Amino acid sequence: MKNKIFFILDSKIRLSIKGNNIERFIKRLKTNNIDILNIKYIDSNNIIIDIYYKDYEKLLKIKTVYEVDVITYKGLKNIKEKIFNNKYIIISILICMIFLYILSNIVFNIEVITNDTNMKQTLLEELDENGLKKYNFKKSYLKIQDIKQNIMDKHKDDIEWLEIENIGTKYIIRYEPRIKNDIKIDTPNRNIIAKKDAIITSMDIEDGSIVKDIHSYVKKGDVIVSGYITLNDNIKDMVSASGNVYGEVWYEVSVKYPFNYYENIETGKSSNIFCIHFLNKKIEIFGKYKTKNVKEKIIVKNNVLPIYISIENQRETNEIKETNDKNSVIDRAVNKAREKIESNLKNDEYIKDYKIMSTSYDKTGVNLRIFFTVVENITDYQNIY
């Protein structure tokens, strides 16, 4: 195996040899210990042979009247020839790659995500003091951790949590302010009322007098828990009713879904990467998304060479392709309607049941009318004085 690799890499040359009595020339090669690696007869006066490149000069000395032309090189000699012939392109690509490497390791933007302008300025100053600033080289992971810890130690009374995230040539800084004091808010005396028409399914009441039972039907604005504390029909006190009331509410949704469905959705993930464009080919430096939306900005372009460098803002997408029959298209339509309802629900709310009220088809897909029963938090408040 090792010898085979050396044979492949060894420099060889393919020659066209023309002349009368070609067999005499072949014998002359063998007499002078020139190995013929391969031979092909074109006609009685023309052959193509492969020999080692080191024997080429020897062959030229004994060729006499025979015409010898180089067809191609093989092995290392071939590689060297291609490198030499394309040296300017290769040098340009190497320079571009070095340039790209330098650019990809420089910080071009630092963003502090906060609405607190004072803290934003403080963090930018701290980052600058620790060497993390625009147009400087990026820091190693361990150095970033040290910077983060230094800032948190210095501002331990103001910062609960700090994160420094590197995305491409940008650093994003997020922080959580430390809560210094629990502020107690005085809640006015109030009733708990129904936010919308519903049938009460459950209640978790902390304070107040319950005036509606579970399974009761209530209209929007009806009092469910009173802030009046009574004894023998007399009001003895007023409190701030508190707790949560859940009830069944109802929605009717009309939805259309096609037999052939296509959607290209952005996932929310994005990155900035460098790209080298050479002729009709593009080389992405650290590209990671299979499907994406791209916004390109050219940063280096040569009017002579067919090459340029760009920065691409790539936003990952998720392609959805579906072909549905009459059964599956109904399931898809129902799921779409569920997603529409669920997008407006909180974590403690859910769809309890649904019923398809009507179904109709056209050439493109199905039209459904669906009735949903949803359990929601119907708690609302009404101040009392």
The answer to whether residues 210 and 191 touch, using CB atoms and an 8 Å cutoff, is: no
| Residue numbers of the domain that contains 295 | 265-320
Residue 67 pLDDT exceeds 70? yes
Number of domains in the chain: 3
The listed range with the strongest mean pLDDT (16-25, 81-90, 210-219, 279-288) is 210-219
- Tens of pLDDT, residue by residue over 250-297, are 999 999 999 998 888 888 888 888 888 877 788 887 777 888 888 888
> Residue 302: what pLDDT?
67
149 SS3 class? helix
> Residue 181: what pLDDT?
56
Which of residues 129, 148, 177 is at a domain's end? 177
Q: Residues 313, 278: one domain?
A: yes
> Residue 330: what pLDDT?
92
The answer to whether residues 170 and 143 touch, using CB atoms and an 8 Å cutoff, is: no
Query: Who wins on pLDDT, 167 or 300?
Result: 167
Task: Tell me how far apart the alpha carbons of residues 167 and 169 are, in angstroms, rounded to a whole number.
Answer: 6
Please, which residues have CB within 8 angstroms of residue 77's CB and are 6 or more apart in sequence?
A: 11, 12, 13, 53
Q: Is 290 domain-assigned?
A: yes
> Residue 139: what pLDDT?
84
Residue 100 pLDDT exceeds 80? no
Q: Is 295 domain-assigned?
A: yes
Q: Which of 78, 76, 57 minimizes the C-alpha distance to 10?
A: 76
Task: Tell me how far apart the alpha carbons of residues 286 and 276 are, in angstroms, rounded to a whole number.
Answer: 12
Task: Tell me how far apart the alpha carbons of residues 62 and 28 are, in angstroms, rounded to a whole number.
Answer: 8
Return the ∠ at Cα 138 (arms to 132 and 144), rounded to 5°: 60
Task: Say which CATH number the domain at 32 has.
Answer: 3.30.70.260
Q: Residues 120, 71: one domain?
A: no
Which of residues 277, 293, 320 is at a domain's end? 320
Q: Is 289 domain-assigned?
A: yes
> Residue 193: what pLDDT?
95
Reported as type and span, the H/E element at residue 211 is none
Q: Is 367 domain-assigned?
A: no
> Residue 1: what pLDDT?
43
Q: Is 198 domain-assigned?
A: no
Residue 2 pLDDT exceeds 50? no
Q: Residues 15, 79: one domain?
A: yes
Share of the chain above pLDDT 70, in %: 95
Which of residues 31, 48, 83 is at a domain's end? 83
- Tens of pLDDT, residue by residue over 118-146, are 888 888 888 888 888 887 888 888 888 88
